[in-house]
């Protein structure tokens, strides 16, 4: 099968955004979440649900699902730079923010997990065959529990962009995956944080699958000099809003890139 070029993918992205903008101008609501069958993201055409979801009683599942608390998560797990014998290669960063509900109230005692590529854009995963070096001192996973004000902090390495096979010369912007578990395993939500001024934003169909520009902007962490550690790391602030019109976009179950 012949793969599309970046120019063809970009034309599709712009056409969908124009269609969404016309809908808002006509009185419709902004598209805060991607369309299930967002054509520029090729695999969404094959993986999105085509039938009504089957609703089940979650009580039996939740009865045996894991419970999380401070006794289960060590404070050291939020520092991805100290998990091995030596320091990982790359730009050290501090990522901090708050988990909030739609009313701006803090979500306390929330399990937050992150995973990411290393500084060369390579994941420690057997399916990642990107010919970039693995870092023996960086696994790329961490977790933390939010505090009384919904706050979280991670120390890590800024990830690199990487190629993927959506179309010819497709590259994903640098990003960190975030997972939030709610009060039970069945409430898990997954999203991504990006970095400011990435030149790949306009070319990436996953980022661009959110037609509303304001909703896309909420996925970008802001550089915060007050979070930077002198002579050690640069700081980024990123709040996660779980509900409401200003909520942070969350991935579907089949989104993994």
Residues catalogued as catalytic? 123, 162, 172, 175, 177
Find out whether 19 and 184 touch, Cβ atoms under 8 Å: no
Neighbours of 48 (CB within 10 A): 15
Closest CA to 239 of 195, 183, 193: 193
Q: How many CA atoms lie within 13 A of 176 on its CB side?
A: 29
Q: For residue 228, which phi and psi values (nearest 5 degrees)?
A: -70, 140
What secondary structure does DSSP assign to 116-149, as a single string?
Answer: E--TTS--SSTT---SS---TT---EEEEE--TT
Find out whether 189 and 107 touch, Cβ atoms under 8 Å: no
């Amino acid at each position: 099968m012949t793969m599309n070029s970046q120019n063809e993918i970009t034309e599709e992205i712009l056409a969908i955004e124009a269609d969404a903008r016309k809908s808002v101008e006509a009185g419709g609501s902004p598209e805060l979440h991607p369309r299930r069958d967002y054509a520029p993201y090729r695999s969404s055409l094959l993986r999105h649900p085509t039938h009504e979801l089957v609703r089940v009683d979650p009580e039996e599942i939740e009865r045996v699902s894991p419970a999380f608390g401070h006794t289960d998560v060590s404070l050291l797990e939020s520092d991805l730079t100290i998990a091995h014998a030596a320091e990982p290669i790359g730009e050290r960063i501090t990522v901090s923010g708050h988990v909030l509900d739609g009313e701006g109230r803090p979500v306390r005692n929330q399990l937050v997990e992150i995973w990411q590529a290393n500084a060369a854009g390579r994941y420690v995963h057997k399916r990642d065959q990107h010919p970039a070096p693995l870092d023996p001192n960086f696994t790329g996973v961490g977790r933390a529990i939010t505090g009384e004000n919904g706050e979280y902090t991670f120390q890590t390495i800024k990830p690199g962009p990487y190629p993927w096979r959506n179309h010819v010369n497709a590259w994903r912007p640098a990003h960190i995956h975030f997972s939030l578990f709610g009060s039970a395993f069945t409430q898990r939500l997954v999203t991504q944080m990006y970095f400011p001024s990435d030149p790949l934003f306009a070319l990436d169909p996953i980022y661009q699958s959110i037609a509303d520009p304001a909703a896309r902007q909420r996925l970008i962490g802001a550089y915060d000099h007050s979070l930077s550690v002198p002579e050690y790391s640069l700081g980024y602030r990123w709040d996660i809003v779980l509900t409401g019109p200003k909520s942070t976009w969350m991935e579907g179950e089949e989104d993994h890139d």
